[in-house]
Structure 1
Amino acid sequence: MTGKLHIAVLMGGWSAEREVSLMSGTGVADALESLGHKVSRVDMDRTVAATLAALKPDVVFNALHGSPGEDGTVQGMLEILGIKYTHSGVTASAIAIDKELTKAILCPHGIPMPDGMIVESESLYAADPMPRPYVLKPVNEGSSVGVAIVTEDGNYGSPIGRDVTGPWQEFDRLLAEPFIKGRELTTAVVGEEAFGVTELMPTRGFYDYDAKYTEGLTQHVYPAEIPADIAARCEAIAIDAHTLLGCKGATRSDFRWDEERGEDGLFLLEVNTQPGMTPLSLVPEQAKHRGMDYPALVQRIVEEAL
């Protein structure tokens, strides 16, 4: 057990995931205080470097989600300040948030990921980049921000209309991937230990940002009611991805599984290096099922940072 520390919990910021980060950060700060640590709660703004330099914490618990807290930017600042911090470092963070770069690193090592291509959003107004159904997602966002599933009978039209609401209005470039039918699975890794597999069953639509963070919109089934070999494969892929990317602390690997294709139907979608720590979040939930309560999980992540 690490002794009592001064821990700055970095949360908030200005990304699309600000509100979720504030929930994560508040939960982490409360847990650390319950363990007797001195906690400084820092809602990140443009003066954050000066704030942290003045606070001189023993360690920063990074509870930010999205850019710049998840893309290596904040990690680089903390490296310059010489302050230890939780979760992944500069390189792993920069790679993992970029879905194209993640594929470039993981696929040559045999990690199964969907085929995909980068498209200019403008091109979508002329023609579909691939046969429907397909998925469009921002290259550098997490938490299913800006994800659109384009189907034959969808409401986007064919081609997609310039005046139709979607990620093409917000982002100049998008990643297009074939839609993988089937089941949504996720596995947390803390350190080098996988925490099992949860199946996510949205009560409507798909597992988008609202479904992740609105109580009652998604049923979490743990352990997932899937064959043992598929569960083992999820855990193995999650650990391999965590290791190959050079991640630290907690990560969460998200999968789609087409059960009609067996093991060949399992695909890693992404690795999240700053997974949520809210009451609805999957990493704390999986840890709890394995006998590790929320404060113990937070403590373990801090200890790894040290």
Structure 2
Amino acid sequence: MHVMHGIEKAGWEYIHIEADENCYENLKKTRPDIVFNRAEGIRGESRESHVPSFCEMLGIPYVGSGVMANAIGLDKPTAKIILESHGLKTAPFQVLEDPEESIRDNLEYPLILKPSHEGSSIGINWDNVVYSEHALRTKLRTMHEIYKQPILLEKYIDGREFSVGFVGNYSSAETPTILPILEVDFSSFPEELGKVLGQKAKSIFDDSSNYRCPANIEPELRQRLESHAKASFKALNCKDWARMDYRLDYKNKLYFLEVNTLLGIDYDVKRDELSFYPMMWYATGKKYPDMVREVITAALKRYGLV
């Protein structure tokens, strides 16, 4: 409802198209001027690329990153490989196809295991952080059985966690705008959540008081976060909007965690259901309809429609 209200406030009209197995035919029939894609897809490791693929086949403009960038955004290892190839630091990692696969010597405990092709921290909680070979193998077998996909094994970065949001694009006339940086405050997390912003933290125990936006950070750290995030936005070919998540360890080393190309934008103050991206917009003094209008306008500009 918030998105629809924002579209109306901008003076535009909308139609709602369900992203089900009839989506392609409905898009072909209605042919909207532009699609504001909110669909996470139905199935498959590249499911967040379903609607962008339909739009490209039909020649319909759409908001957000393209087919490849959305697929990479849902594939944590591939995103890391691309950024590392551009000299952008991510946590040391390995992709495990088999529960008994040998672990590389350069990976030191503690380590954290994550499903390679899931969003919204699905399959990630404090017990994904392991401190021994036995704990690693036990968790790895369980995750392979549940998710039936490769598992990303990363060096667990203990420290502060940040999120950097964007609106806009790289072009000859502009660069994307960075929104106020958000920091996760782990100090009020229940013991069972540890210091992992995982599935339980984002669902059962989620509370807006756990986040600081704008983050209270020194200018030097802000510059490092913004510089890495800008380079990552460009390297991953993000469009219109995105969010990058980071960890800063106790040695002041900064590590990229993941990119979000299909962002959560829940904002229900009464229920205290607040996604990071709209929180960043509110920190600028703007409102939800402003966010919707400016994100869609970024896409309209990119297509030369305004």
**1:16 maps to what in 2?**
none
Q: Aligned AA for 1:216?
A: D
User: C-alpha displacement at 1:210, in angstroms?
Assistant: 3.6
**70 and 36 in structure 1: CA distance in 2 versus 1, 3 angstrom threshold:** farther
Alignment of 1:141-220 (within 5 A): 141-148=118-125, 149-152=128-131, 157=135, 159-160=137-138, 166=143, 168-191=145-168, 192-202=176-186, 203-204=189-190, 205=193, 206-213=196-203, 215-216=206-207, 219-220=210-211
Alpha-carbon distance in 2 for matches of 1:128, 1:111: 23
Say if 1:257 and 1:167 are closer, same or farther in 2 by CA, change over 3 A. farther
2: CA distance, partners of 1:237 / 1:73: 29
Report deviation, 1:88.
0.3
State whether residues 100 and 137 of structure 2, in contact with CA within 8 Å, keep that contact through their aligned partners in structure 1: no
Alignment of 1:1-306 (within 5 A): 26-65=1-40, 71-123=48-100, 130-148=107-125, 149-152=128-131, 157=135, 159-160=137-138, 166=143, 168-191=145-168, 192-202=176-186, 203-204=189-190, 205=193, 206-213=196-203, 215-216=206-207, 219-258=210-249, 260-262=250-252, 265-279=253-267, 280-306=274-300
- Structure 2, unaligned runs of 5 or more: 169-175, 268-273, 301-306
Work out the number of aligned pairs and report it: 274
More strand as a share of residues: 1
Percent identical among aligned pairs is: 30
Task: Give the TM-score normalised by the residue count of structure 1.
Answer: 0.81
- Per-residue deviation, 1:40: 1.4
Shift of residue 291, structure 1, vs aligned partner: 2.6
Q: Return the offset for 1:201.
A: 2.1
CA–CA distance in 2 between the matches of 1:269 and 1:162?
20
Give the TM-score, by structure 2 length.
0.81
Instruction: Give the whole-Å Cα distance in 2 for the aligned partners of 1:55 and 1:71.
Output: 21
Question: Which ranges of structure 1 fall in alignment gaps of 5 or more residues?
Answer: 1-25
* 1:70 CA drift (Å): 6.0
